Amino acid sequence: MNNLDNSRKRSKWALNYQKQCQADLKKVGMPSRNAEYWKFTSPNLWETTDLISVGEKNFLENDPQYIENRPEYYVEFVDGIIDPVTLQNLKKKLKECEISDFEESVCDQFHWANKLLGKAETKARKSYERPFALLNGGKSSQGIFLNCKESPRKPIHIFYSGEIEDKVNIRHLLKINCDTELHIIEHFSGNAKYNVVTEGFLDPNSTLNHNRLVSRFLKNSIITHLFVNCMESSVVKTIGITLNNGAVRNETFLNLEGSQCDVTLAGLGLGCSQSSICDNTVFVAHLENSCKSRQIIKNVLTQGAKAVFQGKIYVDPKAQKTDGYQMSNGLILDEKSNFLVKPELEIYADDVICSHGSTSGSLNTEHLFYLKSRGISTNEARKILVEAFLEEVIEEISDLEFAKFVRKEIQDTLI
Amino acid sequence: MLEIKDLKVKISEVDKEIIQGFNLKINPGEVHAIMGPNGSGKSTLSHAICGKEGYEITGGDINLEGNSILELEAQDRAIKGIFLAFQYPLEIPGVGNLSFMRTALNSQKKARQEKELNPAEFLKLVKNKASDLSVDMEMLKRPLNVGFSGGEKKRNEILQMALLEPKLCILDETDSGLDVDAMRQVSQGVNALRSPNRSFLIITHYQRLLTHIKPDYVHIMVSGRIIKMGGPDLALQVEEKGYGHLIANQKN
């Protein structure tokens, strides 16, 4: 399997998109530190080399332990390649959704995705260029395309595992039909340098619940893009948990094209080393009336870690009665760590409520004394307060089992 | 139990000596009250005994059961048996009340090499103690003191005291912000904990708390020193004539 073979089989619509991405990337170029949204983190951290070549994979399908520890609905990408067994199992179990992997989808001339692929991304590029997404569009050969027709009863988990340290491009496409709800939970625990782009298309009155956990064991750089187009009364809740020691950049673009949408973006970062960078770059475009958006960012930083939050709320002249909120808090535990914040409001409507705020500080000494005065050690008291600081984001996670898992991961990271 | 000898305390931030040669001896089982006007150094004294950072001991000593505690951090003083019921218990969002209390109790047990309680054992214990103070499960499940009324916060402090079973209980203006019924309830909780092995230091502006919790001794503190000591009658005298009268007498 290589890029050339894939391109021969691809349908015209997919090839056109791929070529367009490659051409646009050539025109736009990869970002430099001078680009407006790359001033705080160097794009060199997410270097731009070719897609991995794929050899024989051991997908561990016969290992019962491996199956046992996985939830009911899941697919796994091992070293960036979809494990076919997990895909087949998911297709069998999940009757509520039409599921195909990337290659299957793009080789089908009449696939439902043919009018959607790249459309949310194109809208996002109107705010500012997304060269890494173009790079992904020009190279991807892996991912899942999911057409949600009825609400699955449980979240669908996507695992990214594996040992190799190459660069991996993965592309997902989600279509959520009217009155349905889809919950996706992504787990990054592999060693690869991931570039993952997810496009979501929400029909009226549908819901996307999305969680992303970047494991504390990861050292390599990851860049993700989530581009979501929202029709009227749709709901998005996306929560990113970043615990690793490498560089993570999450670019999110929520396009509120219908009225009365309700979107929440929450980001939690726990950086405990000098190589740890957590960058959340968010753009919420209010294009119609009466939509509500919330952005909540919490970063704990120590040992020279860095966090970046660039969050913009754009309100179109048509988007009256917009309710926009943005809050970022940094808890900085030493003098070497940095929290860099760029909040932006761009408002062209007059009847709106938009607020934003940002705080950075160290642990509250009064709180510390209260806990210590009960016999709790300084170290334990600090841990309790760090966990408490992050709890506001964890409370947003609707899947209680996953929330419990995240709390445990945070506790283990803090030891 | 507690012996404070010629204590001098400075608040580091303002470089000002608040306590200037303070002496106090509390024997096991005794209840001492310290009364005084605003700014007399009562809260500074309680913080200095508990080891809060930012208070510099410039002279004298504090002994608990014969040993100086000045070198100990706040948590180690708590483990030795000192408990402070805060004047303004802090609201800490994100910290569950119940899990905080279990962590505190188990931290102390662990340090004393006693068996720690598992969640079920702890829940049984806390339910038992909480019912006496009208603290219900709903309050225990909420984040620590968040959204609690003044009375609830103080009852929650006394519940912690009942769970941790300290040797020396310091109550820093526990009566502030309490209505008559809440004061009675809190006082009943405190009285239930009185024992021959446990001592109390009650800091208050007013005599009214002392009608519910009968002290053995009353001390009047002014400008960082004790100017007068007596029995419960002294509190009544303050109520009647105010601190000005005592301060004037002292000057004469």
Residue by residue, pLDDT tens for chain B (252 residues) are 899 999 999 988 888 889 999 999 999 999 999 998 888 899 999 999 999 999 999 999 999 999 999 999 999 999 999 999 999 999 999 999 999 999 999 999 999 999 999 999 999 999 988 887 778 888 999 999 999 988 889 999 999 999 999 999 999 998 888 888 888 888 988 899 999 999 999 998 888 888 889 999 999 998 898 988 998 888 888 888 888 777 777 765
Enumerate the residues of chain B whose CB falls inside 8 A of the CB of residue A380. 103, 107
Q: Is the pLDDT of residue A168 over 50?
A: yes
Burial class (CB within 10 angstroms; exposed 0-12, middle 13-18, buried 19+) of A85: middle
**ipTM of the complex as predicted:** 0.95
Q: How far is A172 from chain B (nearest CA, A)?
A: 35
CA A1 to chain centre: 28
**Mean pLDDT taken over chain A:** 91
3-state SS string for A96-165 = CEEEEEHHHHHCCCCCHHHHCCCHHHHHHHHHCCCHHHHHHHHHCCECEEEEECCCCCCCEEEEEECCCC
Q: Is the pLDDT of residue A53 over 50?
A: no
Nearest to A375 among B53, B78, B92 (CB): B78
CB-based contact A367 B90, cutoff 8 Å: yes
Q: Encode pLDDT of A185-210 as tens digits.
A: 999 988 889 999 999 999 999 999 99
pLDDT of residue A191: 87
Q: Which of B11, B12, B69, B92 to mutate to test the interface with A (most CBs of A within 10 A)?
A: B92
Q: Is the pLDDT of residue A55 over 80?
A: no
Q: How far is B226 from chain A (nearest CA, A)?
A: 25
CB-based contact B95 A370, cutoff 8 Å: no
The answer, for A350 touching chain B at a CB cutoff of 8 Å, is: no
Region A48-62 average pLDDT = 43
Q: Is the pLDDT of residue A11 over 50?
A: yes
**CATH, domain range B2-94+165-251:** 3.40.50.300
Burial class (CB within 10 angstroms; exposed 0-12, middle 13-18, buried 19+) of A323: middle
DSSP labels, A213-242: EE-TT--S-EEEEEEEEE-TT-EEEEEEEE
pLDDT of residue A81: 94
- Per-residue pLDDT band at A4 (split at 50, 70, 90): very low
Please report, rounded to a whole number, the percentage of residues in chain A having pLDDT higher than 90. 81
Listed by start position, the domains of chain B span 2-94+165-251
C-alpha to C-alpha distance for A208 and A180, rounded to whole angstroms: 9
Listed by start position, the domains of chain A span 3-363
Residue A132 has which token pair?
């890494």
Higher pLDDT, B134 or A160: A160
Enumerate the residues of chain B whose CB falls inside 8 A of the CB of residue A411. none
Q: How far is A398 from chain B (nearest CA, A)?
A: 17
Q: How far is B243 from chain A (nearest CA, A)?
A: 31
Q: How far is B105 from chain A (nearest CA, A)?
A: 8
C-alpha distances in Å from residue A29, one per residue of A24, A51, A130 = 8, 18, 10
Q: Encode pLDDT of B166-187 as tens digits.
A: 999 999 998 888 888 888 888 9
Report the residue count for chain A.
Answer: 415
Of A187, A412, A413, A380, which is closest to residue A300 (Cα–Cα)? A413
Report the DSSP beta bridge partners of residue B101.
none
Nearest to A375 among B92, B93, B104 (CB): B104
pLDDT of residue B219: 94
CB-based contact B94 A387, cutoff 8 Å: yes
| Torsion, CA A392, CA A397, CA A399, CA A402, rounded to 10 | -80
Nearest to A375 among B79, B86, B90 (CB): B79
The answer, for A378 touching chain B at a CB cutoff of 8 Å, is: yes
C-alpha to C-alpha distance for B51 and A312, rounded to whole angstroms: 46
